Amino acid sequence: MRDLSRRRLLALAAALPAPLALGTTPASARPAWAQANEAAWPDRSLRIIVPVAPGGSLDILGRTAARALTGPLGQSVVVENHTGAGSNIAFDLVARAKPDGLTLLIGSDPLTINPSLYSRIGFDPVRDFAAIAELVRAPQVLVVKKGLEAKSLSEYRRLGQEMNGQVTLASQGNGSIGHLGGILLGQTLGFQTSHVPYRGGGPAVVDLVAGHIDSLLVTLPAAIEHIREGRIRALAVTGLQRSPALPDVPTIAESGFPGFEVVTWQGLLAPAGTPEPILRRLHDETRTAFAKPEVSDNLRAQGFELASGSRADFAELIRAEATRWPAIVKASGARVD
């Protein structure tokens, strides 16, 4: 596996051609049911599909969004966890759902990473989804079990080099941002770890607390309470600046590896073809709800960084990520099937 710097990876990704833009469906092309029911929407409960098991950062965000939107929309908003196939089961479900604004997705990096990892994908991240709002960004955090003889990143590096590939490093799933970030981290630190994939960050954190795995690279909100309670130990975060939620934990960049950065995005999407008035209302209601102090302060305390921007900004992020990841996945050598 070649050791490519982050700068070279980004330069390589930037040279790739941009995919087709996220499209909108003109009113004349929408089915009659869509045009007739836009004004009455929503006339029944909504569901937010979460592509990981309960307990991870996406699950936390999905439940936060459901609670925040239930009142303003006048209908209940329920969360459904659909795990499996590296989140592809959930992505397929939403891509094929009726575009009536009643089935939504909490999406993140795997939506744009997976087409490069799997040989058979039933969805296109640009063509098959409509952007509603980017909600948060979050760094990953490198955490270790309490019994591991590593209290800093340098000690973790020394231990990994001494154990020659026997240190287990878990992630929230094959091909996840944690998996790819772990590959880049191993390259950066100069040793190979033994990857242990889970179906979401929540189950991985549980096993780390129990001591079944040595270390884990996971989105910060999934692990922060266990870190604060002392059940696991945080060695470093993957943003370029320290997280306000864990100000005493250094970044990997400041720990002797300048430029190292792995940050995940998370946002709300709908099936392509969802009527524009519904998408606009969902965006506006989501922005209003997430700006309330009781929501925003709670998310920041858990390690999230609140995102802003328009639907067009979020759509452009998805296009850029869909272009960026193929080169990085190829360079890393990662493959799921």
For position 107, which CATH number holds? 3.40.190.150
3-state DSSP of 179-236: HHHHHHHHHHHCCCCEEEECCCHHHHHHHHHCCCCCEEEEEHHHHHHHHHCCCEEEEE
Say if residue 159 is in the same domain as residue 247. Answer: yes
16 pLDDT above the threshold of 60: no
94 pLDDT above the threshold of 80: yes
Q: Report CA 102 to chain centroid distance, whole Å.
A: 22
Instruction: Give the structural domain span for 154.
Output: 139-255
Give the chain's domain count: 2
pLDDT band at residue 17, thresholds of 50, 70 and 90?
A: very low
Say if residue 247 is in the same domain as residue 288. Answer: no
Structure tokens at 108: 């993140």
Q: Is the pTM of this model over 0.85?
A: no
Within a domain: 243: yes
Torsion of CA 284, 288, 289, 292, to 10 degrees: 170
pLDDT, tens digit (0-9, with 9 covering 90-100), for 43-80: 999 999 999 989 888 999 999 999 999 999 999 999 99
Domain boundary among 255, 278, 309: 255
Within a domain: 260: no
Residue with tokens 């549980």: 206
Structure tokens at 307: 């995102």
Q: What is the pLDDT of residue 8?
A: 39
21 pLDDT above the threshold of 70: no
Say if residue 231 is in the same domain as residue 205. Answer: yes
Say if residue 53 is in the same domain as residue 103. Answer: yes
Within a domain: 211: yes
Say if residue 246 is in the same domain as residue 270. Answer: no
Say if residue 274 is in the same domain as residue 127. Answer: yes
Cα separation, 116 vs 93, in Å, equals 19
Cβ-Cβ contacts under 8 Å for 193 (sequence gap 6 or more):
160, 165, 167, 168, 169, 182, 186, 215
Say if residue 124 is in the same domain as residue 144. Answer: no
Q: What is the pLDDT of residue 57?
A: 86
Within a domain: 289: yes
Instruction: Name the CA radius of gyration of the chain, rounded.
Output: 20
